Amino acid sequence: MQGAYEKIPVLKIGDFLITSIQVALHDRLALGLQDDILAKIQETNAKGLIIDVTAIDVLDSFITRILVEIAKMANIMGVKTVLVGMQPAIAITLVEFGMELTGIETALNLEKGLELLEKISQEEYGDI
């Protein structure tokens, strides 16, 4: 059973949800995060989602697939996803293994991610 200490917070700031992964993301925790994000999208009617992976040193194929699936599911629910803070070594590994982050926008850091989501939101919804 997933304890409270094993949950990754999903925070609402304005029209956006932000989650910052600060712990090693094992399979069960990743699936729990997916469920939490989708529930929060439904609950809040968010227009955008930022997933901050700055603290992650390793991103395996399963976790990458879960992140892509979260973005696809969020998109179906009308929410654009931006992945921020990817370490250079992880980006290199993803490219070397031919993995694609289909459906996920990327940005260097949280500030750039927020700017990107605001731009996307303005294009889709007008002024928010």
At residue 20, φ and ψ (nearest 5 deg) are: -120, 115
Label the pairing between strands 80-84 and 105-107: parallel
Fold of 4-122: Transcription Regulator spoIIAA (3.30.750)
Asked if the model's pLDDT at residue 4 lies above 70, the reply is: no
Asked if the model's pLDDT at residue 54 lies above 50, the reply is: yes
Asked if the model's pLDDT at residue 93 lies above 90, the reply is: no
Asked if the model's pLDDT at residue 2 lies above 60, the reply is: no
What does pLDDT average to over the chain? 90
Domain boundaries, the chain: 4-122
Distance spanning both ends of the chain, measured CA to CA:
39
Map tokens 């289909």 to a residue. Answer: 102
The confidence score (pLDDT) of residue 1 equals 44
